[in-house]
Amino acid sequence: MLVLGMARQNEILQADSMVIIHHAEGLAEKLTNVAKENDQVYKALAFLVSSSVYGALAMEVAGIAMGIAVNHGVNIPGAQPAMTQAPDMQALDPSLNGRVVA
């Protein structure tokens, strides 16, 4: 997130990143303490940490959701519209041979 903020020269995103970085260790410690007392929290954290494919999927879905939200006028600092026009499907997949896909 910090790198993204730097790349986009977005001071707000950079500042948000620094807040997260500053509090990450304390948050991890507190989550660990809660997980020791709450089995559901433990299971949720264990699932996210041990199942990296699910974490990756969640991040990808979040990125898509943010892009779509921005496309619909939601103001998310640092986010950019996902796409300004529909892609040329033939250029993306020449094997379509001019067929239209839905």
pLDDT in the model for residue 99: 58
pLDDT in tens, 37-67: 999 999 988 887 776 787 778 778 887 877 7
CA distances from residue 98 to 29, 85, 87, 88, 102 in whole angstroms, order as listed: 56, 19, 14, 11, 13
| Amino acid 40: pLDDT | 95
Tokens of 66: 């943010």
HEC-encoded secondary structure of 21-53: HHHHHHHHHHHHHHHHHCHHHHHHHHHHHHCHH
The residue extents of the domains of the chain are 38-75
Rounded CA-CA distance 73/50 in Å is 36
- Name the pTM for this structure: 0.45
